[in-house]
């Protein structure tokens, strides 16, 4: 009895090619999903920082650009995942809060910066739809 090994080799190569094509389609969309899921961390941290600013203003009559003074453990302002750096910009009328993408989150080219005004106005750059994820 003679076995046809060439036919089995072709079958294996076809299966490998199909797996490769599927992986090429699935992996990039999964990576985008992961990047988009971390947007929630940026928005949650900015909302938390806004609440801390409100407490600071209620207790001391002023806002602060010092994250440690506001209650963050780390003065460098990096979020727990290490994907965003928080900062505060004070003005005569209030403040702006920023969460800038760092490290692997810089691959999320649609939402590199989240902005929260003291009035509650939300923004993001370069795209304006980042808060809605």
Give Cα 82 distance to the centre of its chain: 9
Cβ atoms 69, 77 nearer than 8 A: no
Cis peptide bond N-terminal to 60, omega within 30: no
Look at residue 112 and tell me whether its pLDDT is greater than 80.
Answer: yes
Question: In this predicted model, what pLDDT tens digit does every residue of 15-26 receive, in sequence order?
Answer: 888 888 887 777
Question: In this predicted model, what pLDDT tens digit does every residue of 64-101 receive, in sequence order?
Answer: 999 888 887 766 889 888 899 999 999 988 999 999 99
How much is the pLDDT for 99?
A: 95
pTM reported for the whole predicted model: 0.77
Cβ atoms 84, 78 nearer than 8 A: yes
Cis peptide bond N-terminal to 3, omega within 30: no
Closest of 42, 30, 105 to residue 77, by C-alpha: 42
Tokens representing 51 are: 């609440």
Question: In this predicted model, what pLDDT tens digit does every residue of 34-65 receive, in sequence order?
Answer: 888 899 999 999 999 999 999 999 999 999 99
Cα radius of gyration (the chain): 23
- The strands making up 95-101's β-sheet, listed across from edge to edge, are 84-90, 95-101, 111-117, 122-126
């Amino acid at each position: 009895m003679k076995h046809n090994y060439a036919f089995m080799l072709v079958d294996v190569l076809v299966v490998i090619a199909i797996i490769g094509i599927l992986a090429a389609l699935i992996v990039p969309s999964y990576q985008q999903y992961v990047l988009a899921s971390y947007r929630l961390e940026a928005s949650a941290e900015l909302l938390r920082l806004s609440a801390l600013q409100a407490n600071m203003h209620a207790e001391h009559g002023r806002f602060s650009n010092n994250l440690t003074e506001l209650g963050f453990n780390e003065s460098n302002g990096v979020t727990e995942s290490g994907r965003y750096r928080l900062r505060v910009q004070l003005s005569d009328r209030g403040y702006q809060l920023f969460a800038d993408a760092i490290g692997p989150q810089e691959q999320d080219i649609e939402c590199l910066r989240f902005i929260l005004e003291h009035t509650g106005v939300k923004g993001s750059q370069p795209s304006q739809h980042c808060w809605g994820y």
